[in-house]
Structure 1
Amino acid sequence: MHAFVDETKQHGLLIVSTLTEVCHLQQARKVLQSKRLPGQNRIHFKTERDSRRHEICSALCALKVRVMVYDATAIKDAVEARTDCLTAVVEDLAALGGRRLTIEQDDSLVQADRRTFYNAVRKFDVAATLEYEHRRPNQEPLLWVSDAVAWCVAKGGDWRRRVDPLITQVRKLS
């Protein structure tokens, strides 16, 4: 099991983890890359037109992935919210036998994230089995799924409904 993590801070922190089995990675990446427009090096949901968002949501729902949402909007301290979310991601991956966690790289947060992951993999006794890394979104198409779902959940309404088939859990943190 691999996890791909992105976030939105639109109305407080939401972290989204897209999970898939290793055997589905290649096909998912191929489908996602085929959805890029000429000249795009990635799909970034906030910059897409609504018609493209509809098309992309439909493609996402056909992938063999599932999504977990970590809602820390009730936590006002941004550092605490992020730490709690990332720790919960590791906890859930440990329970699922996860082997790899890829998080979208934000250079200003890499060191803090590494401290959080270092502590979390030890807390949940997966230091020897769970690898984690930061990647830029143009380097890993499965980060685009988490980006899209985070955007849709934050927007709510019909956008949330479009990605509901992907969401297996919403974990509220406080």
Structure 2
Amino acid sequence: MLIVSTLAEVRHIQQSRKVLQAQRAKGQNRIHFKKEDDSRRRAICSTLCTLEVQVTVYDATGIRDAAEARTGCLTAIVEDMAAAGGRRLTIEQDDSLVHSDRRTLYAAVRKFDVADTLAYEHMRPNQEPLLWVSDAVAWCVAKGGDWRRRVDPLITQVRKLP
């Protein structure tokens, strides 16, 4: 399992959203990298690299149990956000995972003593364009090769989870 976190300073969020929304094809309400053709993927990658964002890849591919891998990734994200002074964590909503995610996040914000300063929420991808960055980078990292190279400028850290 790979989970990708995109960090943006508040002062860059609106502009990044605007740039991402402009990349949608006619009739699209979001960018979903898996459904794009290669020429659009290349163009989107180029645009992503112009954004003022930092991306961390949480690599839990060594953990066989999917629930355990997700818990480890979410906990590591909260740990990193606590260290960075992050204020808001938005997670792509998967209705089958919301309940377990909330349990994990509840425990993690207390473990890293940020329950009063870090808010977390689940949103659908069409509600938050910055989720598209994480989706695209995750796809590119999983594909590897030239796709990985295209998003390397965005990736500030890869955290391999045990």
- Taking structure 1 as the reference length, the TM-score comes to 0.93
Determine whether 1:129 maps to 2:129: no
The answer for the alignment partner of 2:31 in structure 1 is 43
The AA in structure 2 aligned to 1:38 is K
Matched with 1:65 is: 53
Q: Distance in 1 between matches of 2:52 and 2:161?
A: 27
Q: Counterpart amino acid of 1:14?
A: L
After superposing on structure 2, the runs of 4+ consecutive aligned residues of structure 1 that deviate more than 2 Å are none
Matched residue type, 1:75: I
Give the deviation of 1:90 after TM superposition: 0.1
| Residue 106 (structure 2) pairs with residue 106 (structure 1) | no
Cα distance, 1:154 vs structure 2: 0.1
Q: Distance in 2 between matches of 1:53 and 1:38?
A: 15
Distance in structure 1 (CA, Å) of the matches to 2:61 and 2:103:
22
Query: 1:131: Cα distance to partner?
Result: 0.2
- Map 1:115-126 to 2 at 5 A: 115-126=103-114
Which of 93, 111, 124 does residue 81 from structure 2 map onto? 93
Q: Show CA shifts across 1:127-149 (max 9, x none).
A: 00000000000000000000000
| Partner in structure 2 of residue 10 of structure 1 | none
- 2:22 aligns with 34
Give the match's secondary structure for 1:95.
helix
Give the residue type in structure 1 aligned to 2:97. Answer: L
Q: 1:158, CA displacement in angstroms?
A: 0.2
The CA distance in 2 between the partners of 1:110 and 1:46, in whole Å, is: 22
| Letter matched to residue 59 of structure 2 | D
Structure 2: 5+ residue runs without aligned partners? Answer: none
- Give structure 1 stretches of 5+ with no counterpart: 1-12
Matched residue count: 162
1:65 Cα deviation from its structure 2 partner: 0.3
1:146 paired residue among 131, 134, 142: 134
Which amino acid in structure 1 is aligned with residue 51 of structure 2?
L
Report the alpha carbon displacement of residue 85 of structure 1 after superposing the two structures with TM. 0.4
Task: Name which of 29, 41, 51 aligns with 1:53.
Answer: 41
What SS does the corresponding residue of 1:58 show, helix, strand or coil?
A: helix
Q: Secondary structure at the match of 2:91?
A: strand
Question: For residue 142 of structure 1, what is the amino acid of its counterpart?
Answer: L
How far off its partner does 1:60 sit?
0.2
